[in-house]
Amino acid sequence: MLKQLYIKNFTLIDELNIDFHPGFSVITGETGAGKSIILGAIHLLLGQRADTRQIKEGRSKCIVEAHFDLSTCHLEDFFQNSNIDYDASDCILRREVSSNGKSRAFINDTPVSLTLMRECGELLVDIHSQHQNLLLQKEDFQMNVVDIIADDKPLLDDYKHHYADYLQAVHKYEEQKKIIAQNRDQEEFLRFQYNELDKANLQADEQESLESQVQTLSHIEDIKSALFQTTSLLNNDDNGAVNLVKNAADSLQNLVDVYPEIQDAAQRLESAGIELKDIADEVDHKLENIDFDPQQLQQMNDRLDELYSLEKKFHASGVNELIDQRDQLKQEIANIDCSDDFLADLEEAMSVAHDNCAKIGQRLSEARLHAAKKIEAEMHQRLVPLGIPKVRFSIDIQHTDCQPMGLDKISFLFSANSSTPLQPVAQVASGGEIARVMLSLKAMISGAVKLPTIIFDEIDTGVSGRVAEKMAETMREMAQQHRQVIAITHLPQIAAGGTSHYKVSKEETSEGTVSTMRELSEKERVREIAQMLSGSDISQAAIDNAQALLDAQK
């Protein structure tokens, strides 16, 4: 629950630090006093987009901070998965907005993204404002209410998993069907391309080998000349390098007996002579075997021209890429040849995925149907005391094919009297009736959702008198189920129902208009409620009436 709220430099608020209590609290104040400012600060804290216009004029930044007690919320996993320190007795959410447009968010002094702060806020506080009554027009909201009461999250998650598989199977089938249709349109061209590449008898790395051989043959005369010159220098009978080295080795070897220190040099020179002789023989052998065939060179150049032409035509960077394209064309042609069988297999897989999805969806529909009966009965029990004695509330569930949320199309039907046919609630209910329907729904689902704090912003629109008292009773009942309920109200009957009472007021100071909020004492509550009953001139009768309202709630 919300324990403490601190606001600084936010619109008309200089600095506000106020404690909140368990149970049912009410916030009152004249129109324009600043109740919406308090709510706006909480919205900012829960991840709403910041606006620099929210900073009090002349200040550099605004701060909103709240302390929550999470001891009954079981949120350890959320904090652990988010890598945030967890303190069940004091969880701190803080938001800072600077005049330069920068916004920072913190959870327990850890900087977090706005998305994460929003996720955390949705686990802590539910704010119901007047515009949320429009949710009754939306099918997904109505579906969500039924799912909450059905407690079908594991089943719904299972359905979504199978639905994703079904969508994937449909996509694969449709995509392949489209590809096959396109391929059939250009089948003749595909076969022509494949035959051209297949006829080329492409070999991996062939181009590199040919280019190397052509390079060699193109310089054959230079190669032969160099080999011949090398052979002459090595094998010349008189002054060839082989003979000169051999003679030098023999000379040193003759000195070994009289000059032992030269033996190592003599052996090394002898080894060099042997190596040199091997080199001379190898060069001579290459010279004898090298040959130039102009026809062979022409064939190689012709083959390279063929490969270069194919690469240009098929926009390939080399022979290996041409081979890949050839193989891909072969597969596409094979797909065309057996496309009917292939599509039949994909269609069967799609059918199986649909059946699996529908099977889970049927179980989900049964759970929703059971929950719908429960909702209808409870809504009747709640709406009759709220001043709609002839109310009829029904949930129409129409079955459809597999959809993202199941096989159901859900609509809340409503009639305030026995003579009017049931119609969608948003179309026939008055503003006051919609407010009571929404309050009843919130009261019903709050027990299932287990949100620690629920804030109602003028949920009492369009009601008064005895109905307002019953609405206060409903909110008190919600607050007794281990949660905190805060209502912003203009009605004295609801204000009297709170166990704690806060007043928002506005005053003029030397620095301009300032909004403040404080908790009222019992005596102050009497005067505030009396003023709500009679206006600015508080009569003794209004005070007595206010006291009676408060006494009736004890």
- Whether 116 and 247 share a structural domain: no
Do 18 and 5 contact (CB within 8 A), yes or no? yes
Do residue 202 and residue 317 come from a single domain?
A: yes
Report pLDDT for 247: 86
The 10s digit of each residue's pLDDT in 431-471 is: 888 888 988 998 888 767 777 899 998 887 777 788 888 99
Position 210 scores a pLDDT of 87
> Does 83 share its domain with 196?
no
Does 414 have pLDDT greater than 90? yes
Dist CA 444 CA 113 (whole Å): 33
Give the type of residue at 551: D
Whether 380 is in a domain gets the answer no
Residue 130 has pLDDT above 70, yes or no: no
Helix %, strand %, coil % for the chain, to 5?
60, 20, 25
Q: Are residues 509 and 459 in the same domain?
A: yes
Q: How many CB atoms lie within 10 A of CB 248?
A: 16
Q: pLDDT value at position 482?
A: 79
Q: Is 308 left (phi over 0), alpha (psi -120 to 50) or beta?
A: alpha
In-domain check, residue 122: yes
Same domain? 112 vs 208? no
End-to-end CA distance of the chain: 23
Residue 494 lies in a domain: yes
Residue 226 lies in a domain: yes
Query: In the chain, what percentage of residues exceed pLDDT 90?
Result: 47
The reply to whether the predicted model has a pTM over 0.75 is no
Q: What is the mean pLDDT of residues 396-408?
A: 94
Task: Assess whether 207 and 120 both reside in one domain.
Answer: no
pLDDT at 551 over 90: no
Q: Specify the higher pLDDT residue, 443 or 171.
A: 171
Same domain, 235 and 331: yes
Residue 175 lies in a domain: no
Q: Domain end: 317, 337, 357, which one?
A: 337
Confidence of residue 539 (pLDDT cuts 50, 70, 90): confident
Query: Nearest CA to 417 among 437, 389, 386?
Result: 389
Residue 103's closest CA among 114, 93, 92?
A: 114
What is the model's pLDDT at position 292? 63
Return the pLDDT at 357: 96
Whether 132 shows a pLDDT value over 70: the answer reads no
Bridge partners, residue 96, by sequence = 63, 104
Q: What is the pLDDT of residues 140-168, one digit of tens each?
A: 889 999 999 999 999 999 999 999 999 99
Q: What is the mean pLDDT of the segment spanning 44-71?
A: 90
CATH number at residue 509: 3.40.50.300
At a CB cut-off of 8 Å and minimum separation 6, what does 192 contact?
A: none
User: Which residue bears the tokens 């350890």?
Assistant: 76
Residue 136 lies in a domain: no
Q: Long-range contact list for 38-44, CB < 8 A, 24+ apart?
A: 38/5, 38/7, 38/504, 38/517, 39/127, 39/129, 39/455, 39/457, 39/488, 40/10, 40/11, 41/5, 41/7, 41/10, 41/13, 42/5, 42/66, 42/125, 42/127, 42/455, 43/127, 44/10, 44/95, 44/97
Number of domains in the chain: 3
Residue 296: the pLDDT is 77
pLDDT at 134: 60
Query: Angle 153-185/187-199 helices, nearest 10 degrees?
Result: 70
* Residue 416: inside a domain: no
H or E stretch at 218: helix 206-218
Domain that includes residue 325, residue range: 188-337
Residue 389 DSSP class: T
User: Would you say residue 266 has pLDDT above 70?
Assistant: yes
Residues 296-343 pLDDT 10s: 778 888 888 889 899 999 999 889 999 999 999 998 888 778 878 888
Give the pLDDT score at 376: 95
The Cα-based distances of 480 to 239, 456, 552 in angstroms read 118, 16, 17
Task: Look at 532 and 294; give whichever has higher pLDDT.
Answer: 532
Residue scoring higher pLDDT (229 or 381):
381
In 386-452, the DSSP E strands lie at 392-403, 406-415, 423-424
Query: 531 and 493: one domain?
Result: no
Confidence of residue 131 (pLDDT cuts 50, 70, 90): low
> For residue range 362-377, what is the model confidence (pLDDT) as tens digits?
999 999 999 999 999 9
124 and 211 co-located in one domain? no
Q: Are residues 201 and 266 in the same domain?
A: yes
Same domain, 528 and 497: no
User: Are residues 327 and 193 part of one domain?
Assistant: yes
Predicted pLDDT of residue 374: 95
Q: What is d(CA 485, CA 478) in angstroms, rounded to the nearest whole number?
A: 7
Determine the average pLDDT of the residues in 187-201.
90
Average pLDDT, stretch 184-208?
A: 88
Q: Is the pLDDT of residue 170 over 90?
A: yes
User: Is residue 349 pLDDT above 80, yes or no?
Assistant: yes
Residue 108, in any domain of the structure: yes
